[in-house]
Amino acid sequence: MSTATYTVTGMTCGHCVSSVKEEVGEVAGVTSVEVDLADGLLTVGSDGPVDTALIAAAVKEAGYELAGQA
């Protein structure tokens, strides 16, 4: 099992957290998603490495961005 942590910008409430968890949870290979609103941290568990671009796209679909991603 693999775990990766990202920083998400723009989240301000519980609904933000739910949106990010839902979108990231749909990425192929992702087995768990934890979001810490206070720190803006997204922790993704997976069976193997997951392309950061796929995570970034899912976060963008939820309406937010990964820090450092354009």
pLDDT higher than threshold 80 for residue 65: yes
pLDDT higher than threshold 70 for residue 69: no
- CATH architecture assignment, domain 2-66: 2-Layer Sandwich (3.30)
> What is the Cα–Cα distance from 61 to 57, expressed in whole angstroms?
6
3-state secondary structure of 13: coil
List, in sequence order, the alpha helices (H) in 1-70: 14-25, 52-61
Domain range list for the chain: 2-66
**Each residue's pLDDT tens digit, 8-62:** 999 999 999 999 999 999 999 999 999 999 999 999 999 998 999 999 999 999 9
pLDDT band at 1 (very low <50, low <70, confident <90, very high): confident
